[in-house]
Amino acid sequence: MNQETAQNKYLYVGRKLPYHQIMNPQEIPSTSKIIQAVQKNKVTYQCFRCGNREQNYFCSHFCARCSSMCTYCRKCIVMGKMTTCTKLIVNELDMKKEDQRGGLEWDGKLSPQQKEASLKVMEAVKGNTDLLLWAVCGAGKTEMLFEAIDVALQEGKFVCIATPRVDVVIELAKRFQTAFPKTPIAILYGGSEDKWEGQRITISTVHQLMNFRRIFHLLIIDEVDAFPYNIEEHLHWVVDEARTKTGSTIQLTATPSTKQQHLAHRDKIEYAMVPARYHRQPLPVPDFQWIGNWRKTIQKNNKLPAPLMKWLQSILKANSSIFLFIPTIDISSAVEEAVKKLTVKTTSVHSQDPLRHEKVSAFRNGDVSVLITTTILERGVTIKNSQIAVLGSDEEIFTESALVQISGRAGRHIDYPSGEIMFFHNGISEEMVRAKKQILQMNQLGFEKGWLDKK
Ligand SMILES: [Zn+2]
Ligand SMILES: [Zn+2]
């Protein structure tokens, strides 16, 4: 094979066509732009698929394809190798496309605090500005977006709701399909069946946005503080690239980073704050309970600490369901075994569990009373009447933001607005204190705004 044909065989597609399709030059649509996948700017490299700029993720080697030294990106190598000799095809959007836009068919009513936030989001959409929407868990964030998305659709814009977490994509998809029944919606995550074919609404993981360039006029990122978006800077580049140059990016979170909190408090960024839940009841506040070296108790005697057992019993007696958060997977089966002595309706989930969706469904419809889980379920899952326990809440994985999110699982439903949250610990951590403080502050603000009912 001569050099030219070898290179031509490695053209990757940015959008419209399957991403990793190898194409012949004559098949490339005329509206496309061809760019070099890994580019060198003076002395530093950048990958134009995943946005990586961390130099230690670039490697150079002699490349058989182009018969010279090539540099490739290790950050996104699992998706196929991107080198300095790989060409990436980026499609421009054809806006003349006539299609079905549909519209909002939601008949719910926004609470005054939701309405205020909704107007802010609408303002941002109309003025093509960015916004941070800081709303407590259970404030009804999704509903605050509906009107603004409807406005965007009527203006012929393309809308994307992206989130770092697959679970959240699936939850959001259901709600948007109900609210916008006549609008074509693409649901994209690793392994999903949908393809992007110009649907007006896209619900996607942040990673999937690598397939898009300058497409979405309104880009909403839900759970901006969640992993890996909070850690992986290159994903911020990916998000910026997916949005049109003029457009609006809305960031949603219940637990902004310390940096974002500072920027907001100093009015350095546009933000809207919703400290109150839609049902006008304050957020349940966690209690702390010391249980000593509980790992030893479990390993030695196959038993849970007595205060935790007592608490579980009392909640089960009241017919509530229980989220029991644990810090590590390794103790999962031991905890499950111990809880099963109280009720057989017990199960556990973790991120590698192939049955996790089924187990969450069983929990939701009452077939499971106690769900033992790692932090994977810290957000996104809403169960009507559930109480929360965190075992080992002082361990490293339970950060301020994780603990606020976990606490946010309680008392979300209007019929069960209060809830119990117990942090079982072996020494109170800084993060536990900060989480409790944040919840109390939000309640305080909610009362001041008149958005919460006095007891
Ligand atoms: Zn090469
Ligand atoms: Zn890369």
Ligand nearest to the CA of 85: 1
Q: What is the pLDDT of residue 8?
A: 45
Question: Cα of 65 to ligand 1 centre, how many Å?
Answer: 5
How many whole angstroms separate alpha carbon 163 and alpha carbon 432? 26
Mean predicted confidence (pLDDT) in 227-233 = 87
- Once rounded to an integer, what is the mean pLDDT over residues 412-428? 92
CA distance 329 to 373: 8
Q: Specify the amino acid at residue 255.
A: T
| Ligand number, closest to the Cα atom of 71 | 1
Q: Ligand 2 center to residue 67 CA distance, Å? A: 21
Q: Residue 302 has what pLDDT?
A: 84
Q: 58: CA distance to ligand 1 center in Å?
A: 14
Please write the tens of the pLDDT for every residue from 236-284.
999 999 999 999 999 999 999 888 888 988 999 999 999 999 889 999 9
Ligand nearest to the CA of 60: 1
* Residues around ligand 1, an ion, CB closer than 5 A: 63, 65-66, 70, 83, 85
Q: Which bound ligand lies closest to the C-alpha atom of 70?
A: 1
Q: How far is the CA of 236 from the centre of ligand 1 (A)?
A: 27
User: Which ligand has the nearest atom to the CA of 37?
Assistant: 2
Domains of the chain: 3-91 (no CATH), 112-274 (3.40.50.300), 287-449 (3.40.50.300)
Find the 160 Cα to ligand 2 centroid distance in Å: 22
What's the pLDDT at 19? 46
> What is the CB neighbour count within 10 angstroms for residue 266?
8
Q: Which ligand is located closest to the Cα atom of residue 75?
A: 2
Ligand 2 centre to CA of 229 (Å) is: 15
Q: What is the mean pLDDT of residues 216-244?
A: 92
* pLDDT tops 50 at residue 426: yes
| pLDDT at 2 (0 to 100) | 40
In the numeric block, the tokens 């061809």 are attached to 34
Asked whether residue 292 carries a pLDDT value surpassing 90, the answer given is yes
353-394 pLDDT, tens per residue?
A: 899 889 999 999 999 999 999 988 887 677 888 999 999 999
Ligand nearest to the CA of 76: 2
Give residue 84 CA to ligand 1 midpoint distance, Å: 6
**How much distance in Å is there from the Cα of 83 to the middle of ligand 2?**
9
**How far, in Å, is the centroid of ligand 1 from the Cα of 72?**
9
The segment with the largest mean pLDDT, out of 142-151, 159-168, 190-199, 412-421, is 142-151
- Per-residue pLDDT tens digits for 51-74: 999 999 999 999 888 888 999 999
Residue 67 CA to ligand 1 center (angstroms) comes to 7
Give me the mean pLDDT over the 322-337 stretch.
95
Note the pLDDT of residue 23. 63
